Chains A and B, each alone.
Chain A
Amino acid sequence: MVINLTRCVGCYGCVIACKTEHFLPPDVAWNRVMVFEAEELNKQIYPILCNHCREPQCVDVCPTGATQQREDGVVWIDADICIGCKSCVMACPYQVRVVNEAPNEYFPGQGLTPYEEMRGKLYPLQEGTPSKCNFCMERLDEGMTRGLKPGVDREASPACVNMCPASARIFGDLDDPLSEVCAALKTGKGYQLKPEAETDPCVYYVTK
C-alpha cells in the first residue's frame, strides 16, 4: 500500500470504514490518523495501520504460530491459536496491535445495538488476544476467486482504500512493475516508517 500524504485531508474516513467493515468495538482501532505539529512544518497527518512487514518481528516472536504471514505478504492473526502472551504486541515497532478486552457498548448503559450483536457473530474478537489490520483479506480472497484484481476492483480492495475520498490510499501488488502502486512509489519517492527497525514495511508514504 502507498499512502499519498499530500492528498490525505485527515477526514478519518479510513478509520470509520475499517471499524464498519470489521465491526470493531469502540475502543479498538486498526486504522488511526495521527495529526501533529512538526518542526518547520505546520501540520503533519499520518494515517497509520499495520505495515504488513516483509520481515515481521511479530511473526518471529509468536510462540504458537498464531501470527502468520501469507504468500501475498498479508500478516494476520489466528485468534483460535493465540494464547494471549502479547509478545507480538511488544515486538511491533509501530505498536499497531490492539489487545481485545471485553467490548464496550457504543452507547453505555443502553445495551448492545443489533449492529453490535451481529459483530459478535460475524467478527468475534476473542478477549485477551491481539487484533490488527489484515488488509481486509476476506474481501481480497473473495474478490480474487471471482477473478478481480486487488487495488483495481473495489470488491477486491481493502475498505479503507475504497472509502478514501481523496484517493490518498493506493493498493496493489508491489512486485508488479506495471501496477499503480508501483508507479506511485517510483514517482513519489516513497519511504517507510522507522526503517531502522529493519522490518521492511509494505506500507509506503509518498509526498508527491
Chain B
Amino acid sequence: MLDTKVKPYEFMIFPTVQKAWIEGKGRLLWLGLFFVEFGASLFLVSSIFHCRWGETAGWLITSILGVGCHFLFLGHPFRLYRAIRKPGSAWISRGLIIISLFQLFGFFHLLLSYFSIPAPWLMIVANILAAATVAYGAYELADVKPISVWHCSFLPIQMFARSFFLAFAVMLGIYLLLDVGTIAYEVNVKKWVDIVLLVNVFLFSMYLISLLFEEGKNRLALGMMWGGSLKGIFWPWVAVGGMIIPLFLVIYSLSIGVATTPAGVLLIAVILQCIADPLLRYCMMRSGYYGGLFPSKPVDFRGAS
C-alpha cells in the first residue's frame, strides 16, 4: 500500500509516503544532511582528540560534500542567499547561518592551528558551531510536524549521537590503519574501537525500538523496512552489516583479547557501520509518511490493508 506509486484518486486517502525529500533530487538532501552531520561530527571529535587531519577532513566533508549536495538539491540554488531571512521559524535558515559560521570559524581555527598559533577561544567557538551543525541536520527532519515518525523529541538526540559516534569510529579506524596504538588522553585505539562499535549497535537498535513506540499499532515505517520495499536495504546492510556483524566481531575481539585482535577485523566492522548509518537514514527518510486525510476510515477494497 505504501510503496506503490500513489495514483491521483488515491491521494492522501491512505497513509502516503513523502517523496519531496527522497525521490529524484530529494536524494541529494539525504546525502547533504548525512555529509553535513558526519563532517561536523568528525571535526568535533577530532578537535576533542587533537587530531588535525580529522578536523580538516571533517571541515572539507561538510563544506564540499554537505553544502554541495544541499546546493544541488535546490531548484534555484543561486537564490540560496535569500534563505537566511527567517531564522526565527525555519530550520533551513538556521542551518544555513550555522553552517556558514561553522565554515568561517572552522577555517580560521584550522589556519591558525596549521601555523601553530594558539587560539583556544576560536577552537571553542568552532566546536560549538560544529555541534550546532550536527543538530541542524537532526532538527531539519524532526521539525516536519505532519510526519509523526520524524516529529519526535528522541530523533534529534539519537541522530546527534549516531553522527558523533560514527565519526569517532571513523577517526579511530583511520588510526588503526595508521597503526597508532594510543591517542590523546591515553585512549587505547583498539579498546575504544570495540566500545564505539558497541555504542553504534546500541544506537541503531534504539532507533528501531523507538519506531515501535512512535508508530503505535500502525508500524508502517517499520513494516516497510522489515518486509516492505526497503527490506533489500535494511536487512543486508543495516541489520546484518551495521549491527550483527560488528557485534559478532566485537565479541570475537573481546574473546581473543583486544591487543591480539587483527586491526583488519575491527576495520571491517567500522566500514560496515559507515555504510549502514547513511542507509538507515535513507530508510528513515524513505519511510516517512503522512497519515490519511479524511475523517471516515476508507475501506481498502483491494484488500491490501
Contact = CB atoms under 8 A, between A and B. Distances in A.
Interface of A: 29, 32, 34-39, 41, 44, 46, 48, 57, 60-65, 81-87, 89-95, 99, 126-129, 191, 193-194, 197
Nearest to A100: B75
A77 to B, nearest CB: 12
B148 to A, nearest CB: 10
Contact of B89 (A29, A61, A93, A95): A61
B90 A61 contact: yes
Size category, B interface = 35 or more
Contacts of B198: none
Nearest to A83: B79
Contact of B21 (A46, A81, A86, A126): A86
B294 A34 contact: yes
14 contacts: A32-B8, A35-B9, A36-B294, A44-B294, A62-B90, A65-B82, A82-B76, A83-B76, A86-B75, A87-B91, A90-B146, A95-B12, A128-B75, A197-B145
Contact of B83 (A64, A91, A92): A64
B143 interface: yes
B303 interface: no
Chain B interface SS verdict (over half): loop
Given A83-B80, A84-B74, A93-B145, A61 B91 contact: yes
B296 A41 contact: yes
Nearest to A86: B20
B299 interface: yes
B216 interface: no
B11 A32 contact: yes
Contacts of B84: 63
Contacts of A32: 8, 11
Given A41-B296, A48-B11, A84 B75 contact: yes
Contact of B295 (A34, A36, A193): A193
A65 B8 CA distance: 29
Given A48-B12, A86-B21, A63 B83 contact: yes
Contacts of A57: 145-146
Contact of A48 (B21, B73, B144, B293): B293
Contacts of A89: 20
B90 A63 contact: yes
Contacts of B63: none
A81 B26 contact: no
Contacts of B76: 82-84, 126, 128-129
B16, B26, B298: residue with the most chain A Cβ atoms closer than 10 Å: B298
Nearest to B86: A63
Nearest to B87: A63
A39 B13 contact: no
Contact of A91 (B75, B145, B295): B145
A41, A48, A95: residue with the most chain B Cβ atoms closer than 10 Å: A95
B18 interface: yes
B217 interface: no
Interface in B20-54: 20-21, 26
B96 interface: yes
B12 A94 contact: yes
Contacts of B80: 83
Contacts of A129: 75-76
